[in-house]
Structure 1
Amino acid sequence: MAGTTTVEVPTSDGAADAYLARPDGDGPFPAVLFFMDAFGLRPRLAEMAERIAAQGYLVLVPNLFHRTGPMPRVDLADLADPQRRGELFGRIVPLITALTPELVARDAGAYLDFLAGRDDVAAGPVAIVGYCMGGTNALRAIEAHPDRIAALASFHAGRVVTDEPDSPHRGVGAVTGELYFAHADRDDSMTADHIATLEGALDAAGVTYRSEVYAGAPHGFTMADTAMYDEGATERHWAALFDLLERTLRRAGRGGADDGPHASA
């Protein structure tokens, strides 16, 4: 039975608090780096990490906002009240924008070093999964560390495509692993035009990927502690994630052939 503990991960800017979920037994286990959504470390993310760990993976969920201190408790009931929702996002948005590509790359290196230094983590590359802003930053992480991250699964990420020179989609040429993108339907932060632009960049770079729109699913559809939760879309996401992890971590570790996708689907 997988369980979650809290650990501190050394970084160049102080320790990052994090959840660590691991299967029973001694390992070593293939590792998964889990990038949080904007609402941060909380019971829902611990529950999700434990579900991944129950499949035989050691999972690290760092507080991406660690530079402002340990993750404060966020009351998601505030989302139902327009004024309190505005106040909540007024606190969160500056934390999101402060995560520059350079900081994400540097922190990702520290998280990877932490995993590599554990006796219960299998040697070789890890996989990364990210939700909402975590999906966007997970893409930046695999672009910065293509030799250390074998696969990315990104769910309802926003602002993967922007007009900025450092837009995440512009760096996909560095990726050597396999990518999976699950887009929310009718998501203003990742429109059909944005998806087409991302897929065009992936095709041009020759990246192995799958990109899917989850019809009818809103932004944030995996988060059961918010009104955006969609049970059907969430179960679909688990199936896609575990398929990717099995193919890129466990099967690769056994020396099996890659029979994954080689284009968008």
Structure 2
Amino acid sequence: MPEITRRIHRVSRREFIATATLATGFALAVQPISAKVIKTNTKGLIAGAVKIPVADEEIPAYRAQPSKGANFPIILVIQEIFGVHEHIQDVTRRFAKLGYLAIAPELFVRQGDVSKLTSIEEIRPIVATVPDAQVLSDLDATVNWAVKSSKGNASKLGITGFCWGGRITWLYAAHNPRVKAGVAWYGRLVGDKTEITPQHPLDIASTLTVPVLGLYGGKDTGIPLNTVEQMRAKLNNKSKIIVYPDAPHAFFADYRPSYREKEAKNGWRQLQKWFKQNGL
């Protein structure tokens, strides 16, 4: 049994969540760190760990926003399967430098601290137990916290996510019509329908009203291009998908060997353009 599972068995669920903290570095499961890691400083920002009230408990999150001003546009930043580690935290700081209030809630905390695990094989069984309904509810709570406690503007709400978080980006855009725009980075589009994953992005594509930009790699071995084309065919003209022909999965993850600088920088520019043209 993986160590994280043994630890959860020794403490109550409530005690685990109450004492959970965010990762202080990168995900152990995807070492070594790339030489091209982007490091965004906190000058002019308020940045760090916060607690988000959800249901009858709290979950940890990383928040970054300008140190001066108010009424900031809100960007939800949705993690990869590796948790809210340093790369995801850095992405929130990049948004804050652009004038946004960015928040990355730890959406796996009830199931386990995946950032401390050393292999994807240990992480996947934990992530597979995370119900979509729980995630969507936690994101609703995160938006409420952003408005009430962190000077966020509820009428200017955006979302972006990576890998696992890319899938959630599509689903949350369908769940919450208040979202102005979303950007989904190489999120899975199809899958088995289960009690905890009753829908997938392809299922909601034809009825999606929130404009979502999908960014995908043509050499992503985990997301077949035919599923990307199926998604593209079902979307209305508010949303669109860009495929980078030579990019693999996780091409934005600058701390991993999969990083592709050219495609990542272009994707980041496309994201900023997308958010601006959709009122963010």
- Answer yes or no: same fold by TM over 0.5: yes
Q: Distance in 1 between matches of 2:130 and 2:279?
A: 28
Q: Name the counterpart of 1:211.
A: 241
Q: Give the SS at the match of 2:48.
A: strand
CA apart distance, 1:119: 5.3
- Note if 1:105 corresponds to 2:136: yes
Amino acid at match of 1:38: I
Between the two proteins, the alignment pairs up a number of residues equal to 233
1:3-152 superposed matches below 5 A? 3-12=46-55, 14-68=57-111, 71=113, 73-74=115-116, 88-118=119-149, 120-146=151-177, 148-152=178-182
Instruction: Specify the alignment match of 2:201 in structure 1.
Output: 168
Counterpart position of 2:183: 153
Picking from 172, 177, 183, the partner of 2:216 is 183
Give the C-alpha shift of residue 170 in structure 1. Answer: 0.5
CA contact (8 A) 1:130 1:155 kept: yes
C-alpha contact (below 8 Å) 1:31/1:58 kept by paired residues: yes
In percent, how many aligned pairs have the same letter? 23
- 1:90 Cα deviation from its structure 2 partner: 2.4
Q: Tell me by how many angstroms 1:173 deviates.
A: 4.0
Unpaired segments ≥5 residues, structure 1: 79-87, 251-265
Question: 8 Å contact 1:130–1:136 — kept in the other structure?
Answer: yes
Q: Structure 1 pair 237/186, CA: closer, same or farther in 2 (3 Å)? A: same
Deviation of the 1:74 alpha carbon: 3.8
Structure 1 residue 24: Cα displacement: 2.7
Deviations 1:36-86 (A, max 9, x none): 1111112111111111111110000011102135x45447xx5xxxxxxxx
* CA RMSD after TM alignment: 1.9
Cα drift, residue 219 of structure 1: 0.5
In structure 2, do the counterparts of structure 1 residues 171 and 185 end up closer, same or farther at CA, with 3 Å as the change threshold?
Answer: same
The alpha-carbon deviation at position 172 of structure 1 amounts to 2.8
Task: Give TM-score, length-normalised by structure 2.
Answer: 0.77
4+ residue runs over 4 A deviation: none
Kept after mapping to 2: 8 A contact 1:175/1:207: no
Amino acid across the alignment from 1:238? W
Q: Name the CA distance, whole Å, in 2 between partners of 1:43 and 1:130.
A: 15
- Contact 1:182/1:213, CA 8 A, preserved across alignment: yes
Structure 1 position 140, deviation (Å): 1.2
User: Contact (CA 8 Å) 2:49, 2:62: kept in 1 or not?
Assistant: yes
Unpaired runs of at least 5, structure 2: 1-43
Partners of 2:155 and 2:182 lie apart in 1 by: 15
Whether contact under 8 Å (2:158, 2:179) holds in the other structure is yes
The answer (yes or no) to whether the contact 1:127–1:249 under 8 Å persists in 2 is: no
Q: Structure 2 CA distance, aligned partners of 1:199 and 1:97?
A: 26
| Distance (whole Å) between structure 1 residues aligned to residue 252 and residue 202 of structure 2 | 23
